[in-house]
Structure formats: C-alpha cells, structure tokens
Amino acid sequence: RKRYTGLIENYKDRLPVSDNTRFISLGEGNTPLIQLQNIPRLIGKDVDIYVKYEGLNPTGSFKDRGMTMAVTKAVEEGSQAIICASTGNTSAAAAAYAVRAGIKAFVLIPEGKIAMGKLAQTLMYGAEIIQINGNFDAGMALVKEVADHAPVTIVNSINPFRIEGQKTAAFEIVDELGCAPDFHCLPVGNAGNITAYWKGYSEYASDFEGHKAVTDKRPVMCGYQAAGAAPFVTGKMVDNPETVATAIRIGHPQSWDKAWNAQKESGGWFDAMSDEQILAAQKMLSQFEGIFCEPASAASLAGALQDIGAGKIPEGSKIVCTLTGNGLKDPDTAIGQCKDTHPVTIDATLDAVKKAILDHM
Ligand code: F0G
C-alpha cells in the first residue's frame, strides 16, 4: 500500500499543481468519517449521522487542508512571508506550514479572544504574533489593506487556493460513502468552508476537467452559526459578534455571496444556535460517542439535531456533520463544562483505590 503523504498528492489531478510543484505538506487530510452509534438511538430517530473529524489534522483543524495548498502556491510564486487574521485555528495552521516551507508567518489575532491551545501552538511554531485590540473582522480588514503595502501573501480563505485545498474534504466523504450524503451540516464563520465543500461536491457531481462524475447528486447544505454572530441568519453584517465558540466569533464573513450561492443551489438553509445548544452538543458528543471537538465544531451537530427533531431533516437521511476542530484546542471551555465534576483525591493505598472504585460502580 502506498504511504499517505497528504491531500495534494492524493488529489493532485483535481488541484492546481504541476509536476514541478513542491508540495508543502504535513500529511493533512484523510480524516476519519465516524458513524454515530449512540446519539441516533438516544434521540429515537432513524438517521445515519456521520461526523468528519477534522480535529485529527496535523494542527488539529480543517484549516490544514487549505493551508497546505495556500502555502504550496505561495512558495511556488516566490513569496517569502504569509499573513492572516485569525480566531486561532488559521493562525496555528499558517504558523506550522510556514515553518515547513521555511518562510515567515505573521498572524493577527484578537487579544484575549482566542482559545489557549491555539495560542500555545502558534507560539511554539514561532509565528510573529500581532495581537490587536479588535475582533477578527477588524483584523481581516487590516490584513487586506496591509497586503497592498508589504510583501506578504494573504492565507485567509479569500485566497482561492485555500478553497481548493478544503474542497478535498467533500471528495473524501464521497469516496468513502460511495455517494454524496443527503445533508451536510457545518459551522459557518467566515464562510470559506461551506464554499469549499460546495465546490468539492459540485466538481464530483458532474463531468469536470476531464474527469467523469463520481456521484449523481449533491447534498443539501445546512450552515449553522452562533446566535450572537449570525449574519447569514439575520441577513446583515454583525458589528459586535459574541459567542463562547470563539472560532466563529465573526460578524462580517468574507465569502458572503459564495455561501449564499451554496445555500440557494443546494436548497439548504442557515440557522443560529445558542451558546447553550452548542455546548450541549459538544458535551453530548464527548459523553455519548467518545468524540471531543471544540465548541464551534459542535454547532454542526447542534443544528442537525434541532432540524432532525423538527423534521426538516427527515428520517432515513444520511447526514454528515463536519467537526472542524479538536476539543483540545479550548481546554478552558471544556473544563468549564465539567465544573460540577469533582475528581476524588485519595491516599495512595490499595484499600483507598478499591473503595473509590466500589463507591463509583
Ligand atoms: N470551525 C472552526 C473550528 C474554525 O476555526 C472556523 C474558522 C470555523 C469553524 C468556520 O469556518 O470561517 O470557513 O466558515 N476559523 C477561522 C480562523 C476564522 O481564523 O481560524 P469558516
């Protein structure tokens, strides 16, 4: 069997690379598609729910898919530095792939509003961290401006190569299931990922650049936002987005038109999840399935469960939820979720351990 060396190598005939391109890769992609076993039974519904566990990418989020392509192309074009605004995951991915490529990474992050794991990663990879007294949207506006004044390549999802890399997640799902799912649920922030999935599903569902169609249908796209940061639900930009799911604390999404296009063409919808719903879904996945994702990721399952309950997603459906990031990214929120759980402390003796076990059987 051939060694897996990343998504560009795997899908190079569907990506904008050539034989001369040096692939900057950390072995991203090829993430598990896990079928939920307990939650469907718990809610008493006959549905096939799969989660695409993107938290197992090299830096712990789906951003690695886009970053391998964006950095590969930046290097191919001779760039010496990349820059992004980020709620944390893009900065971690940019930092890691820049190291791999031997170029510099500058990251703008909202001070005090990124999860601890993401900050730790970005520090360790050695990126130039620029904290701003402002949110992601302010950082994004600055990055777009400064790129006209300094020799840096933007690696946010407005970089089309990010979308190219991220579309491979849809390819993997269809390759594994043998068809497209009926519904695809995912969290929406800056809206690059929903754009990328729709592009991937669309390319696989028709004859495309010399390839025969792989599947005969595309899924209904369901985008879920945090209630305090839900411009696709309110229909207008949000100036002061707030949510516990800091990854999607975004009020001015860059891929506005492309995301609406995915919604319209697929016959899908956007909806808003409260922080309580998001946290409940995160805990449910951990405690009933053994799957630990970060809060923003759980918006996909929260939305799916709500819409299965309401019948918008009918029984008999095959549903994929993208879990965009690893639970370890945000230890503070996780520990906060478990503040009523008190680990016992006992003497280090056999008797005390025996008692602790028997007390908890
Ligand atoms: N889930 C996670 C864990 C994210 O980090 C992001 C975006 C999203 C969902 C939303 O994806 O923006 O393509 O709609 N994080 C970006 C960042 C903004 O800077 O890491 P989107």
Confidence of residue 342 (pLDDT cuts 50, 70, 90): confident
* Residues in the chain, overall count: 361
Backbone CA torsion sign across 188, 190, 195, 197: negative
The answer to whether residues 94 and 65 touch, using CB atoms and an 8 Å cutoff, is no
Atom of ligand 1 nearest to the CA of 93: 20
Residues 6+ apart with CB under 8 A from 341: none
Cα-Cα-Cα-Cα dihedral of 309, 312, 315, 318, to 10°? Answer: -110
Q: Are strands 33-35 and 48-53 parallel, antiparallel or unpaired?
A: antiparallel
pLDDT of residue 125: 98
Q: Is-contact 246 296, C-beta < 8 A? A: yes
Q: Ligand 1 centroid to 89 CA: how many Å?
A: 7
What percent of the chain is predicted at pLDDT more than 90? 98
Residue with the smallest CA separation from ligand 1 atom 15 is 247
**pLDDT category of residue 41 using cuts at 50, 70 and 90:** very high
For 155: left if phi > 0, alpha if psi spans -120 to 50, otherwise beta; the answer is: alpha
Q: Point out the ligand 1 atom lying closest to the alpha carbon of residue 250.
A: 18
* Annotated binding-site residue numbers for pyridoxal 5'-phosphate: 89, 189-193, 324
Rounded to whole angstroms, the Cα distance separating 321 from 301 reads 6
10 Å CB burial of residue 4 (0-12, 13-18, 19+) is exposed
Reported as a single tens digit per residue, the pLDDT across 294-337 is 999 999 999 999 999 999 999 999 999 999 999 999 999 999 99
Same fold, 7-60+162-337 and 63-158: yes
- One DSSP character per residue, 36-62 reads PSSHHHHHT---EEEEEEGGGSTTSBT
Kindly indicate the confidence band of residue 1, based on its pLDDT and cuts at 50, 70 and 90. Answer: confident
Distance between Cα 67 and ligand 1 center (Å)? 13
Quote the ligand 1 centre to 266 CA distance (angstroms).
21
3-state secondary structure of 260: helix
- Closest residue by Cα to atom 12, ligand 1, is 190
| Residue that the structure tokens 């891929």 belong to | 255
Ligand 1 midpoint to CA 267 (Å) = 23
Q: State the virtual CA torsion across 323, 215, 203, 250 in degrees, nearest 10.
A: -20
- Mean pLDDT across 163-171: 98
Residue 57 has pLDDT above 90, yes or no: yes
| Nearest ligand 1 atom, CA 189 | 14
CATH of segment(s) 63-158: 3.40.50.1100
- Eight-class DSSP state of 349: S
Task: Please list, in sequence order, all residues whose beta carbon lies within 8 angstroms of the beta carbon of residue 34, skipping any fewer than 6 positions away.
Answer: 50, 51, 53, 289, 291
Residue 131 forms beta bridges with which residues? 109
Alpha-helical (H) ranges within the chain are 7-10, 39-43, 63-76, 89-101, 116-125, 136-146, 160-166, 168-177, 192-204, 231-234, 256-266, 275-289, 295-309, 331-337, 350-359
Question: Binding site membership: which residues?
Answer: 89, 189-193, 324
Q: What is the pLDDT of residue 276?
A: 98
Q: How many CB atoms lie within 10 A of CB 265?
A: 12
> Which residues does ligand 1 sit against, CB inside 6 Å?
61, 63, 86-90, 157, 187-193, 247-248, 294, 296-297, 324-325
Looking at residue 228, its pLDDT comes to: 98
Minimal CA–CA distance to 7: which of 64, 60, 59, 82?
A: 64
Residue nearest to atom 19 of ligand 1 (CA): 86
pTM of the model: 0.97
Residue 245 to residue 277: CA distance in whole angstroms: 11
pLDDT tens-digit map of 204-263: 999 999 999 999 999 999 999 999 999 999 999 999 999 999 999 999 999 999 999 999
Give the mean pLDDT of the chain: 97
Which residue minimizes the CA distance to atom 4 of ligand 1?
247
Distance 330 CA to ligand 1 centre (A): 14
Residue 58, pLDDT > 90, answer: yes
- Report CA(187)–ligand 1 centroid distance (Å): 8
Question: Whose alpha carbon is nearest atom 7 of ligand 1?
Answer: 247
> Which among 226, 251, 224 has a CA at the least distance from the CA of 237?
251
Name the residue ranges covered by the structural domains of the chain: 7-60+162-337, 63-158
Atom of ligand 1 nearest to the CA of 187: 9
Q: How far is the CA of 11 from the centre of ligand 1 (A)?
A: 23
Give the nearest ligand 1 atom to 294 CA.
3
Q: Which two tokens stand for residue 60?
A: 């712990």
Give the mutation target among 84, 108, 143, 190 for probing the ligand 1 site: most ligand atoms within 8 A of CB: 190
CATH 3.40.50.1100 fits 7-60+162-337, yes or no: yes
304 touches 34 (CB < 8 A): no
Please state, in angstroms and rounded to a whole number, the distance separating the CA atoms of residues 151 and 154: 10
